Amino acid sequence: MLLGNNPYPHDPRVRREAVALASAGYEVTVICPRLPSQSRSERIDGVRVLRYRTPERVPGAAGYIVEYAYATLASLALSLRVLRRHGFDVVHAHNPPDTFALIGALYKLLGKRFVFDHHDLAPEMYDARFGGRGSRVVRTVLVLLEKLSCRLADHVIAANRSYRAVEIERGKVAPERITVVRNGPGFDDVRPTGPDPGLRARAGTLVGYLGVMGYQDGVDHLLRAMRHLVEDLGRRDALCILIGRGDAREDLERLARELQIEDHVLFTGFIPVADVVRHLSTVDVCVDPDPSNPFNDRSTMIKVMDYMSFARPIVAFDLPENRFTAGEAAHHVRPNDDLELARAIVELMDDPERRARMGAAGRTRVTSELAWEHSIPPLLDAYRAVLEPAREWRHGVAGVRDST
C-alpha cells in the first residue's frame, strides 16, 4: 500500500483497509511519510509499516509538486526494498498523489496487479483549495494523472457512488472494475460518554465542529453563521467549539476577531481522542459547513458520520453526498448561505426533542449501514477480483509445463 498524504496509522481509511486485509490472511506492507516521533519501520496489528522522512513544506502550488514528487520517489525506493526482501503481488495506491500511478505502471511490467484507491478528486480538490485561481497547467496534469490511474488499474476502489460515476465518465473505467468501499467509523471506534459538566457549563448551547481546517473546508462559513446567530438572531448563549487543525486555522482565528465573536468560539486545536469523545458527547448541535462546489458535492464528509456515531443532530449545506449519508440526521439548508446555516442552528437549539430524534436516526444509520464493518466484504471481493485472474494464469502456465 502506498500512502502519500498522511502518516500511518493516522489515516483511518488506510488503517482499516490494511488491518482488514491482514486479518483476511494477506501480507500487507504500508509505505508512508514519517512523523518525527515515529520509527522508520514497525509492525502494527499485523501490518508491516515502512516510513520515509518528509521534506520541508514549500508554500503554494509549488509545495504540492515538491511533496508529490518526493512521495513518489521515496515510495518507489521503499517498494523496491519490499520487492527484494519479501515480494508482493499487488500495488495498492491511495491518492493523493495520483503520481503513484507511475509506480503502478512500472510494476505492471513485472506482472504485478495495480489497485487505485480513489480517496480524493484531485482536480476538483485543487480548484476548491485555490478558489479556481490555480494554474491551468497543474489542473490539466492532475486530470491526466487521474485518468492514467483509472486506466492502468486492474481494479478501482471508489469512496462513494459519486466517485464511481466520475471514474466511469472521466476515467473510462468499466463498471465491473469498480468497487465502492465507503469509509465509515467502526463499531468499536466510538463509544459516546455522558456530557462533561465543566464543558456543559460554558454556554446554554454548544455547537460543535470536528475536522480539518483547510481553505476548502468551509469553516469560514460557520464563523460567519455564528456572527449571524449572535448579532442578528440575538442568541448570545451559544459557544462554537472547533476541534482540529489545518493550514487555514490562523486566518480563521483572525476572521473570528474581525467578526467580533471571540467570546463565542473556542479553537481547541488537535486534541487526544479521549477529549474528542468528551467534547462530541457534550455538544448540542454539530455543523458541517463544507460549501457546495464540484469537489464537496461528490465527496463523503467523514465528519458527518462521526457526528452521527455520537448521535448528534447535524446542520449542513444541502449537498448530494451529505443528503445520502446523513438523511434524516441532518437539517439540510440552502448551500453556501451563512444566514440560513445560523437559522437552522437556532431551530435545533430551541427543539431538544427534534435533536434527540435526529441523533437517534443518525446513530442507527451508522450501525446498520455505514459502519466500516459493512465495507469489509466489498473490499475483500475487490481483492478476489484482482487476484483470481493472476492465479488462474499461473495455474495455466504450470499446467502447460506439466504437460510438456
In the prediction, which pLDDT does 60 show? 64
Residue 59 neighbours by CB under 8 Å, 6+ apart = none
% of residues, the chain, pLDDT over 90: 82
- Domain boundaries 2-183+375-402, CATH class: alpha beta
Least confident of 60-64, 137-141, 186-190: 60-64
Residue 396 pLDDT > 60, yes or no?
no
What's the one-letter identity of residue 76? L
Dump pLDDT digits (tens) for 12-51.
899 999 999 999 999 999 999 999 999 999 999 999 999 9
pLDDT for the residue 188: 74
Q: Taking 50 as the threshold, does the pLDDT of residue 397 lie above it?
A: no
Chain region(s) in the chain for CATH 3.40.50.2000: 2-183+375-402, 197-370
**DSSP bridge partners of 157:** 117, 179
pLDDT at 56 over 50: yes
**pTM of the predicted model, to two decimals?**
0.87
Check: CB of residue 79 under 8 Å from CB of residue 2: yes
Q: Is beta strand 285-288 parallel, antiparallel or unpaired with respect to 205-210? A: parallel
Mean pLDDT for the chain? 92
pLDDT at 147 over 70: yes
Strands (E), 151-204: 155-158, 178-180
Q: What is the percentage of the chain residues whose pLDDT exceeds 70?
A: 94
Residue 72 pLDDT > 90, yes or no? yes
403 burial level (CB within 10 Å; 0-12, 13-18, 19+):
exposed
Give 214's contacts (C-beta < 8 A, 6+ positions apart). Answer: 129, 246, 247, 248
Q: Which of 385, 387, 394 is nearest to 27 (CA)?
A: 387
Q: How far is CA 7 from CA 3, 93, 99, 302, 313, in A?
A: 8, 14, 18, 18, 31
Q: What is the CATH number of domain 197-370?
A: 3.40.50.2000
